[in-house]
Amino acid sequence: MTTAITRAQAKLQQQAMATPSIKLTDEKINELIPRGKVATDEELIIKLSDKNSNKIIPFDMDDLRKLQEEDKTTQQIKKNIKNKKHYFIEDEILIRKQQLPLPPVPYVPVGRIRADILKVYHDTPANGAHFGREKTIRKIQERYYWPTMTADIKNNLNSCLPCAQNNYRRQKLPGKLKPIPPPEGIWKLLSMDFHGPITPTSKKGNRYII
């Protein structure tokens, strides 16, 4: 009996190892991006469409390129690109250099795309799954850049209702005790410790301990 059970368990384990997972993790996504290239979602749009038809992609690089053309800040940076050491242009898209190990990423102008990125990489199960602040910041930093990104992510997470409902507080609430200024002289200040109300009460009906 023991041998049969062991063989059955081994067979199940082999089947589990041979069956590919349908979940798309960050590691699998990173494997699809050629090394040495700018980490944009344009490549993900082309390659992930065959692997996961349910992946939510709110825009493509053509949309981003068009929004950059309509954005005054982007155009000003492009005009002075020789003096902007943190930027360069690739395929008519403004790219922001980042401190290693973060890769160069597209600059995202003000507009709906910023809000879409926040939703995709925090709200959706495939990409965000309501991760915490640091994980959400890291996931977006690896793909996009805009100057107020960190503050926008924090504000978005602070206003996320599911996070507020499901995340428990990791710090104790501040106590009610307040600092007392030192007295000016002897017997100028008296203090007393008490505890209560206590249930059940004493035979005499007392509810506090002094």
Q: Average pLDDT of each block of 10 consecutive residues along the chain (210 residues)?
A: 44 41 38 40 37 50 92 95 94 93 93 86 72 87 93 88 72 76 86 85 87
In a domain, 101, yes or no: yes
In a domain, 179, yes or no: no
Are the C-beta atoms of 59 and 52 separated by less than 8 Å?
no
Tokens representing residue 88 in the block: 């360069």
**Pairing mode, if any, of strands 105-106 and 87-90?**
unpaired
Task: State the CATH number of the domain containing residue 103.
Answer: 1.10.340.70
Total domains, the chain = 1
Q: Residue for token digits 């107020």?
A: 148
Q: Is the peptide bond before 200 cis (omega within 30 degrees of 0)?
A: yes
In a domain, 189, yes or no: no
What domain range includes position 111? 20-159
d(CA 103, CA 163): 29
Are the C-beta atoms of 113 and 59 separated by less than 8 Å?
yes
**Residue 114: CA atoms inside 13 Å, Cβ hemisphere, count?**
18
In a domain, 174, yes or no: no
Q: Is the peptide bond before 125 cis (omega within 30 degrees of 0)?
A: no
In a domain, 183, yes or no: no
In a domain, 130, yes or no: yes
The helix/strand/coil state of 185 is coil
Task: Determine the pLDDT at residue 58.
Answer: 56
How long is the chain? 210
In a domain, 182, yes or no: no
